[in-house]
Chain A
Amino acid sequence: MENSIVSDNRTKDMPRENVDSITDEQIINDLLPQKFGKWGKIWVGILVAICLVGMFAYYRQLRYGLVVTSMRDYASWGIYISNFVFFVAISLVGSLITAVFRLAGVHWSTPLTRIAEVIAVAAIIFASIIIIVDMGSPERFYFLILYGRVQSPIIWDVIVISTYFVISLLLLYYPLLPDIKILLRFKQTTGKRLYKFYSFIGSFWKGTAQQNKLSEKAINILCITIIPVAFSIHTVTSWLFATTYRPGWDSTNFGAYFIAGAFLVGAGAVVVAMYVFRKADHLEKYITEDHFEKMGRILVLLSLLYLYFNVNEFLTPYFKMKESESAYLNGLFIGDFAHIFWFAILAGMILPIIILLFKKGRKPLPVFIVGIMVVVGAWFKRYLIVTPTLLHPFLPMHDVPASYRHYFPSWEEWAITMGSLAGVCLVITVLTRIFPIIPIQETLNEQHEIAE
Chain B
Amino acid sequence: MKSLNKILTGVLSFILVLTSYNGFSQAPEKGDLNIAINYFIINNKVPYLLIKVNTKVNGKFKNVAGVGLKLFLDKDSMGTFIGNAVTNEKGLAISYIPTSVKKEWGTSVKHTFLATFDGDKKYNASKADLTVAKAKILIDISSDKSVTASVFEMKDTTWTPVKGVDVVLAVKRMDADLPINEKPTFTTDSTGKASGDFKRDSIPGGANGNITLVAKIVDNDQYGNLVIEKTVPWGAKFVPVNTFNRRTLFATRNKAPIWLLFIAYGIAITVWGVLIMLVFNLFRIKKLGETV
Contact = CB atoms under 8 A, between A and B. Distances in A.
B289 interface: yes
Interface in B266-292: 268, 271-272, 274-275, 278-279, 281-282, 284-290, 292
Interface string A145-179: 00111110000100100010011001001100100
Interface residues of A, number: 29
Contacts of B264: 150, 156, 159
Contacts of A244: none
A170 B278 contact: yes
A217 B260 CA distance: 32
Contact of A150 (B256, B284, B288): B256
A211 interface: yes
A150 B289 contact: no
B274 A221 contact: yes
Contact of A211 (B253, B278, B285): B285
A245 interface: no
Give the interface centre of A151, A174, A177 by most chain B CB atoms within 10 Å: A151
A167 B250 CA distance: 31
B268 A177 contact: no
B129 to A, nearest CB: 45
A151 B256 contact: yes
Nearest to B289: A204
Given A151-B249, A163-B272, A206-B292, A222 B285 contact: no
Counting chain B CB atoms within 10 Å of each CB, the highest count among A203, A206, A215, A217 belongs to A206
Contacts of A170: 275, 278-279
B288 A208 contact: yes
Contacts, number: 67
Nearest to B251: A151
A205 interface: yes
Contacts of B249: 151
A154 to B, nearest CB: 12
Given A149-B253, A150-B264, A151-B249, A218 B289 contact: no
A229 interface: yes
Contacts of B286: 204
B252 A206 contact: no
Given A208-B292, A214-B284, A225 B256 contact: no
Contacts of A148: 253
Interface string B249-263: 111110011001100
Nearest to B281: A218
A264 to B, nearest CB: 26
B43 to A, nearest CB: 42
Interface in B31-77: none
Shortest beta-carbon contacts, A-B, top 3: A204-B289, A204-B286, A149-B253
Given A149-B256, A206-B292, A214-B284, 20 more contacts: A147-B253, A148-B253, A150-B256, A151-B250, A151-B256, A151-B257, A163-B268, A163-B271, A167-B275, A170-B275, A205-B285, A205-B289, A208-B289, A210-B288, A211-B285, A211-B288, A214-B281, A221-B274, A225-B271, A225-B274
7 contacts: A150-B261, A156-B264, A163-B271, A204-B290, A205-B289, A214-B285, A225-B275
Interface of A: 147-151, 156, 159, 163, 166-167, 170, 173-174, 177, 203-206, 208, 210-211, 214-215, 217-218, 221-222, 225, 229
